[in-house]
Structure 1
Amino acid sequence: MKAEVRGNTTSISLQNPSLFNNSPQNPLSGALQGCLGSLDGACIEKLLLHCASALESNDGTLAQQVMWVLNNVASLVGDPNQRLTSWFLRALISRASKVCPTAMNFDGSSTIQRRHMTVTELAVYVDLIPWHRFGFCASNSAIFKAIEGYSRVHILDFSITHCMQWPTLIDALAKRPEGPPSLRITVPSCRPPVPPFLNVSYEEVGLRLSNFAKFRDVPFEFNVIGDDHQLSDHHQMMGKESSSEYFHFESLLNHLTPALLSLREDEALVINCQNWIRYLSDEQQSGVRGFSLRDSFLRTIKGLSPSIVVVVDEDSDVSAPSLTSRITTCFNYLWIPFDALETFLPKESSQRIEYEADIGHKIENIISFEGFQRIERLESGVKLSQRMRNAGFCSAPFCEETLGEVKSLLDEHASGWGMKREEDMLVLTWKGHNSVFATAWVPSGLEDY
């Protein structure tokens, strides 16, 4: 078998495939009945699981046979199932190249070309579907309520969207009846090596925010913490995000102290976590009382006595060690953005293909990698909520004003988007399926903030 990646297409050729042999000895014969030419999601999922099982048992021949079938279904410009299949196939080929390197002529180290956006392109990216804006809207509304009466506000921002959340909040603060507070935003020097990537530095982002705040008459300060931020910026600008070795969050924990953050008693401290906590390792650290980095982070920020902590992430669980479990969860979850984009963008839209390629980046990491290289370790909103309670936080329910603002936001998008309350969470849905959750928390004892 020969597999190659050229641009945005995956090309596979398999000589003399035996998958058409319907003998009882062929494990694929039953699974393939009625599947060839079918775009049924359930059938595609079965094929993906057959391939995963073959790879887990080091059966390269069977894996190649299934990939041949998947390649005849996959298309980057087809319907949502075909498009999603193409990215799963790419990830499986990448994984197979590691498991069976002699059978695969494939360089799995650089399967997806990274693209770096301008600030304008990033704004369009964020606005395309409410995947990010839902979290921005819910979080900003909760933050606005939590900082009522404060003349100083400090936001410690952990996110992957390069501060795109904050112009809207700055604008709201400028209209506050009692006048805007002075606002400080602090970002960490490192970020997970995941899309979206930006072609400007942290300093440039801070300068743009500062200019906007000045225009809105909001006193503003922007800081980057972590000694290695210049190195991190360099790697981002050079397009080297594909390696997780540049995500040095462990060392950053040492910077999360009142002294190094220059915390002030008269300011409200806000901790903002947008699509971030999933990238912190959940494996127990030796010598840290059995805590994982994820739990250590939550206990560290609780020790800072924040006025509010907002956590937003995708409502799915892809942390299982089993490849087949991850494929099932991932396939049945990530069809959502593919299906949503189908409602308003043409099949050959470059904007749509690029957006889906960023989702493909996620799929590749979930499927192709293991160990420290697999950084996509998302957990469901229910699990995250329990983790927050275990770390000493109490839920801060979203108010009716927040619900109204989120509803107005969703009215700007396709009718398939909706929201619902679910335990501690506000959840973004697509055709009734959970996609993104938003939660707000306060340290135990500060529930009446």
Structure 2
Amino acid sequence: MVHSEATALFRDLRKNALMTFGQVTTYTTMMAPPRKEPPWYPVSSNEQQCFQDLAAMDDMQLDTISAAMQSLDKPLALETEVEQQLLPEICELLGSKEKASPVTISSLELLNNYRSSHGRLSGEKLNEPTDGVAYPTGGGDELSTEEVIRIAAAHFVQMSTHKESDPRHPADFSSLGLTNEEIKNVDLASLLLVAAEKVSNQQYDRASNLLQECRRLSSDTGHPVQRVVFYFAGALQERINRETGGLSWTVPKDRGMTAQEVIKATRSAHPLHLALHKKVPYAQIKDFTSVQTILDNVATARKIHLIDLSIKHGLRWVILLQALATRSTCPIDRLKISAVGSPEEAITATGNRLVSFAEALGLPFSFKAVIVSDIKDLSEDMFELEEGEAIGVHSAMVMSSMIVRPDRLENVMRVMRKLKPCIMTVADVEAELNSPSFINRFTEALFYCSAFFDYLASFMDRDDKTRVATEGSFLWQGIRSIIAAEGSERVVRHVGISVWRSFFSRYGLVKTEMNEWSHYQASLLGKQFANGHFCTLDKNGKALTLGWKGTPLLFLSAWKFQ
């Protein structure tokens, strides 16, 4: 079924002459200024403050939340567990200098240790949301999921600074003009924050009572706020049960994944990947921008060898094949794609579809499946290299999956360094979710997932099977690992581009600009989707960050070996 769907999608792309490349490139060429000058990127003049809806709050509360949300400037570093002694030089480079904080913390620390997502967005803004601050979650004027969490956080911080106040008590938000439904959502989010504080203070009985109330008021099929609370409450309860030896809560429908299973799942052709590629914009933006950057760096090459560390269904290479087939200068003598991963059957099926597509275009093309059940076994000898080849490497969501296994990460980097590609594109999660501090991870994950759940809800209906499966499988596994687990059992770990920038420099990689036109083209792609104007594009150094209403979700980057 999956193979037939992928084949149909390949056919549609061929029939439409690959709209994501042809039409967007044509439109961009028509609209772009002469190439001798830098391109102009659309920047909205409507620069609204993200807390405009909180204007009616008193000065004390505004000052409290501002200080709490913007207190940290430095990114959290990758953590390597104390018990993990593999490759100490890698661990030292990626390891956090931040020491694990005591388990007992004050209420205010819960939010003081969260760095505002909007504060993280720095550098050149390539576009911004255009419809003001009260972002809709699929139509209407209701608050976004993240805004609900922020208002709840403001209330939580204010109540925590007054000993006579109880953050569990519903607040009077009438001055903010919130609807009854929004007030219920804010109260629910506040309840979750209080429960998290009790967990961090090891007040497990009190926390469990609060989490039972969260469970009663939330649902995995409800409003995005209810869904976020549902999964985070489940992860908090599982953390309590791990600490106390209690029974696991009934949220998860499958066992936790091991580190090796996480790495494999990241590189596998899961049916959800194909479904998401059709329904949400970032999969297409990520693929298009990466391919455009690779094309720039092999513009004069007649022999091209592309290595994909996570090929999945191979849709990104359809874009590249179409572009090379229509290249008027420097025709291709030989194009090869080597796909790393397993199982062999799925990768071979992807290769067969690409071969058929290339034949229809008249391209001299070959495909090689580099089958490794464990990426630690990857070797440069597995690639059939030829003299004069221009080598390009693409990694999508692979690097972060190996943080928990630094020996795997070291091996991949060692192989890449020996291959010496002319370009390596890397796409991954833009979030700091690997602090040794549980409460830091909780707050970072809560705001990140609030934006991500809102992102999914804006493109898929509440009962959409793809959305339900994505949240209940991939996102739940991540939330569960980040919140409930510690040590080697915490297999889902993410860090942002600033940490990877330092890590890659160890191997002689230097950052390079993404394609100069791809930023503008990515903006156009996003706007082809309903609600796509809420996608935000920003530059972080030479990398591109993809965000949702200002909160960064993914980064795209390009690297060259010195």
Q: Which has the higher strand share?
A: 1
Query: C-alpha displacement at 1:383, in angstroms?
Result: 1.4
Q: In the alignment, does 2:128 pair up with 1:128?
A: no
What SS class does the counterpart of residue 439 from structure 1 fall into? strand
Q: Which residue of 2 aligns with 1:233?
A: none
Distance 1:340 1:70 in 2: 23
Distance 1:42 1:132 in 2: 31
Query: C-alpha displacement at 1:380, in angstroms?
Result: 0.7
**For the Cα contact (< 8 Å) 2:511–2:542, is it kept in 1?**
yes
Distance 2:548 2:432 in 1: 17
Structure 1 residues 161 and 305, CA, compared in 2 at 3 Å: closer, same or farther? Answer: same
**For the Cα contact (< 8 Å) 1:157–1:272, is it kept in 2?**
yes
- Runs of 4+, deviation exceeding 6 Å: 35-38, 112-115, 117-121
**For the Cα contact (< 8 Å) 1:55–1:99, is it kept in 2?**
no
Q: Which residue of 1 aligns with 2:306?
A: 155
What SS class does the counterpart of residue 384 from structure 2 fall into? coil
Alignment partner for residue 430 of structure 1, among 548, 551, 561? 548
How high is the sequence identity, in percent, across the aligned residues? 21
Q: Which residue of 1 aligns with 2:512?
A: 396
2:384 is aligned with what amino acid?
Answer: S
Distance 1:400 1:105 in 2: 49
**For the Cα contact (< 8 Å) 1:155–1:269, is it kept in 2?**
yes
1:361 is aligned with what amino acid?
Answer: Q
What SS class does the counterpart of residue 132 from structure 1 fall into? helix
Q: In the alignment, does 2:371 pair up with 1:251?
A: no
Structure 1 residues 436 and 184, CA, compared in 2 at 3 Å: closer, same or farther? Answer: same
Structure 1 residues 186 and 373, CA, compared in 2 at 3 Å: closer, same or farther? Answer: farther
Q: Which residue of 1 aligns with 2:125?
A: none
Structure 1: segments with no counterpart, 5+ residues: 1-26, 192-198, 229-247, 285-291, 445-449
Q: Which residue of 1 aligns with 2:525?
A: 409
Q: Which residue of 1 aligns with 2:233?
A: 89
After TM superposition, the structure 1 stretch with the greater mean CA deviation from structure 2, 130-139 or 355-364, is 355-364
**For the Cα contact (< 8 Å) 1:95–1:108, is it kept in 2?**
no
Q: In the alignment, does 2:398 pair up with 1:276?
A: yes
After TM superposition, the structure 1 stretch with the greater mean CA deviation from structure 2, 172-181 or 425-434, is 172-181
Structure 1 residues 160 and 331, CA, compared in 2 at 3 Å: closer, same or farther? Answer: farther
Structure 1 residues 353 and 121, CA, compared in 2 at 3 Å: closer, same or farther? Answer: closer
Structure 1 residues 334 and 227, CA, compared in 2 at 3 Å: closer, same or farther? Answer: closer
| Equivalent residue runs for 1:2-401 within 5 Å | 30-34=166-170, 47-55=191-199, 58-102=202-246, 110=254, 122-159=273-310, 161-177=312-328, 178-190=330-342, 201-226=346-371, 228=373, 248-252=374-378, 255=379, 257=380, 259-281=381-403, 293-357=408-472, 358-401=474-517
- The C-alpha deviation readout for 1:15-58, integer Å capped at 9, x for no partner, is xxxxxxxxxxxx99822011799767776565445444544555
2:351 is aligned with what amino acid?
Answer: G
Normalising by structure 1, we get a TM-score of: 0.75
Alignment partner for residue 418 of structure 1, among 515, 532, 536? 536
**For the Cα contact (< 8 Å) 2:310–2:340, is it kept in 1?**
no
What SS class does the counterpart of residue 331 from structure 1 fall into? helix
2:447 is aligned with what amino acid?
Answer: N
Query: C-alpha displacement at 1:370, in angstroms?
Result: 3.0
2:346 is aligned with what amino acid?
Answer: S
Normalising by structure 2, we get a TM-score of: 0.61
**For the Cα contact (< 8 Å) 2:312–2:350, is it kept in 1?**
no
Structure 1 residues 344 and 72, CA, compared in 2 at 3 Å: closer, same or farther? Answer: same
What SS class does the counterpart of residue 424 from structure 2 fall into? strand
**For the Cα contact (< 8 Å) 2:275–2:466, is it kept in 1?**
no
1:34 is aligned with what amino acid?
Answer: P
1:335 is aligned with what amino acid?
Answer: S
Distance 2:311 2:240 in 1: 30
**For the Cα contact (< 8 Å) 2:393–2:423, is it kept in 1?**
yes
**For the Cα contact (< 8 Å) 1:318–1:329, is it kept in 2?**
yes
What SS class does the counterpart of residue 76 from structure 1 fall into? coil
Structure 1 residues 283 and 202, CA, compared in 2 at 3 Å: closer, same or farther? Answer: closer
**For the Cα contact (< 8 Å) 1:39–1:82, is it kept in 2?**
no
Query: C-alpha displacement at 1:333, in angstroms?
Result: 0.8
Aligned pairs, number: 381
After TM superposition, the structure 1 stretch with the greater mean CA deviation from structure 2, 376-385 or 84-93, is 84-93
Query: C-alpha displacement at 1:163, in angstroms?
Result: 2.4
What SS class does the counterpart of residue 272 from structure 1 fall into? strand
**For the Cα contact (< 8 Å) 2:310–2:341, is it kept in 1?**
no
Distance 2:171 2:239 in 1: 24
1:140 is aligned with what amino acid?
Answer: V
- The C-alpha deviation readout for 1:117-160, integer Å capped at 9, x for no partner, is 99886433213222322221111000011111212211111127
Distance 1:106 1:82 in 2: 17
Distance 2:470 2:250 in 1: 24
1:294 is aligned with what amino acid?
Answer: L
What SS class does the counterpart of residue 436 from structure 1 fall into? strand
1:399 is aligned with what amino acid?
Answer: N
Distance 1:118 1:265 in 2: 31
**For the Cα contact (< 8 Å) 2:355–2:367, is it kept in 1?**
yes
Distance 1:105 1:342 in 2: 26
Distance 1:149 1:250 in 2: 34
1:81 is aligned with what amino acid?
Answer: V
Query: C-alpha displacement at 1:271, in angstroms?
Result: 1.2
Structure 1 residues 92 and 39, CA, compared in 2 at 3 Å: closer, same or farther? Answer: farther
1:359 is aligned with what amino acid?
Answer: L
**For the Cα contact (< 8 Å) 1:312–1:439, is it kept in 2?**
yes
Structure 1 residues 108 and 420, CA, compared in 2 at 3 Å: closer, same or farther? Answer: closer
Q: Which residue of 2 aligns with 1:8?
A: none
What SS class does the counterpart of residue 179 from structure 1 fall into? coil
What SS class does the counterpart of residue 222 from structure 2 fall into? coil
Query: C-alpha displacement at 1:404, in angstroms?
Result: 3.0
- The C-alpha deviation readout for 1:362-390, integer Å capped at 9, x for no partner, is 22232233333322211111211222223
**For the Cα contact (< 8 Å) 1:427–1:438, is it kept in 2?**
yes
Structure 1 residues 370 and 156, CA, compared in 2 at 3 Å: closer, same or farther? Answer: farther
Distance 1:41 1:160 in 2: 40
Distance 2:514 2:248 in 1: 51
Q: Which has the higher helix share?
A: 2
What SS class does the counterpart of residue 494 from structure 2 fall into? coil
Structure 1 residues 103 and 402, CA, compared in 2 at 3 Å: closer, same or farther? Answer: closer
Distance 1:372 1:322 in 2: 15
